Every structure is written in C-alpha cells, then in structure tokens.
Amino acid sequence: MSDNYLLKIHNKVKKLPMSDWLMVKIIANKAPYFKTIPAKLVDLRPHHASIKITKKRKVENHIGTMHVIAICNGLEIAMGMVAEVSIPKHLRWIPKGMSLDYTAKAGSDIRCVAETKPEDWKPGDLDVAVTAYDDNDVVVVKGVIKLWVSEKPAK
C-alpha cells in the first residue's frame, strides 16, 4: 500500500518539525471537529494508528481527569487514520457505531490506538478495535468502532 495517499502525506510531513502535531491538523481539516482536542500522531502504518491527546484543562471533566468524550474523539481520529491507510482501493468505509467501556480514570495524557487485520477489509460490518491507554499503559477506554465497508461504485 505504498501508494496510499495518507501514507504519502505522512512520509512527506514526517521530515518536518512538529510533524506529529501537523499530521493531526491535516486530518482535522477534513473533519473539523477533530480540532477540539490537543492531539499528536504517535504511529501510522497499515492496520495500526495511534495518537496522543495531551491532558489540558480544555479536555478535563469536573473531577480533573480527561473527559471520556475527548478520548472518544481521539479514538475516532485513530480509527479514521487506520481505515484510510489500510482499506483496499476498491472499497470505501463509513462509521456505523461505537461501543466502548470506560475501565479506569484518565488522569494523564492518553494514547489512543486503533487496529485492524488485513483480512478484516471486505464488504460488510467491520469492528475496528480501539483502546486508550494512560501514561502507565493502563487501559482507560476499550471497545470497537463499527464501520460499514462497501465496494466503490463503478465510474
């Protein structure tokens, strides 16, 4: 998948200063809601994407931990990135639902990870595994984001 458009952008951008921050900004230009969290790219390759959300006041809840909706937003960014770098050219995807468990307080920066397997990419439902970790690698949110995968229409 070396000709994947997002991987091409990533390969160009990663040579620049602050490339981890810039990659998320590029994605947020397509989906502006992603600008609501302070995120940076950690890793991007086919079937794996991870981003880090910096714990700042604007993403905290009333008890001073990271708000779970900010974490959900981070998981959705990671899922979108992994989908874009993993999906075969003849398919397309759209999110269909999200099922998450909140397993621990999120009192630090959070690393959001989305993963698939090559054999997952076929028409129909696809559950993308998503997990959010704190700075001690404790799982704070775990679940799936369900995608609908279909054939691209003939041109």
- pLDDT, one tens digit per residue, over 30-67 is 888 888 999 999 999 999 999 999 999 999 999 999 99
Report the CATH number at residue 125: 3.10.129.10
Above 50 in pLDDT, residue 150?
Answer: yes
User: Can you point out the beta strands (E) in the chain?
Assistant: 39-45, 48-53, 91-102, 110-115, 124-133, 139-151
Q: Domain count of the chain?
A: 1
Q: What does the CA dihedral 120, 123, 127, 133 come to, rounded to 10 degrees?
A: 60
What's the mean per-residue pLDDT of the chain? Answer: 94
Given pLDDT bands bounded at 50, 70 and 90, which one contains residue 1?
very low
For residue 11, what pLDDT is reported?
86
Above 70 in pLDDT, residue 2?
Answer: no
Above 90 in pLDDT, residue 17?
Answer: no
- Its domain, for residue 52, covers 5-151
Collect contacts of 21-29 with beta carbons under 8 A, ≥24 apart: 24/51, 24/77, 27/77, 27/80, 27/81
Q: For 127-142, write each residue's pLDDT tens digit.
A: 999 999 999 999 999 9
